Homo-oligomer: A and B are copies of this chain.
Amino acid sequence: MEDSYPQLALDQQICLPLYAASRAVTRRYADLLGEVSLTYPQYLCLLALWEADGPLGVGDLGTLLHLDSGTLTPLLKRMESAGLVTRARDTVDERRVLISLTDGGWRLRDRVADVPARLVEGMGMSERDGRALRDLLDRLIAELER
């Protein structure tokens, strides 16, 4: 066996579990969100808009979700086609496009209210471990996005 590159061993990498876990969670969300024809990033946009309780610019959503306009623009257009949001130029600053929830977008809130609980249930993780994980990840993000 080759041990000349121990630092390249697959099970030494922290990146692979992070990458695999993220995709595994996304797949689980896809199962839960398929019932209401939402993808996981679309669901995240709705979370942000429900919480903001008012229009958000594309850039605001990008900041909240760490996504850029190249991802968000087509995603938001699909959500507009699905009747979940409207897109309108800000009359004050016409560079901005304001995303607002439609009634249909608001209505979905009830239908996904149980999703977080159902997800956590499938993760088999204690409250304490969950907090520890979120804490480590938040620190990692802060460090990497400097």
Contact = CB atoms under 8 A, between A and B. Distances in A.
A141 B21 contact: yes
B113 A21 contact: no
A50 B144 contact: no
A36 interface: no
Total identical chains: 2
Interface secondary structure of A, over-half rule:
helix
Interface of A: 1-2, 5, 7-10, 12-29, 40, 44, 47-48, 50-51, 53, 64-66, 109, 112-113, 116-117, 119-120, 122-125, 129-130, 132-134, 136-141, 143-145
B112 A48 contact: no
Contacts of A13: 47, 116
A10 to B, nearest CB: 5
20 contacts: A1-B53, A2-B50, A7-B117, A8-B112, A8-B116, A9-B51, A10-B64, A13-B116, A14-B133, A16-B44, A17-B138, A18-B18, A19-B25, A19-B26, A20-B65, A24-B66, A124-B143, A125-B143, A133-B136, A133-B140
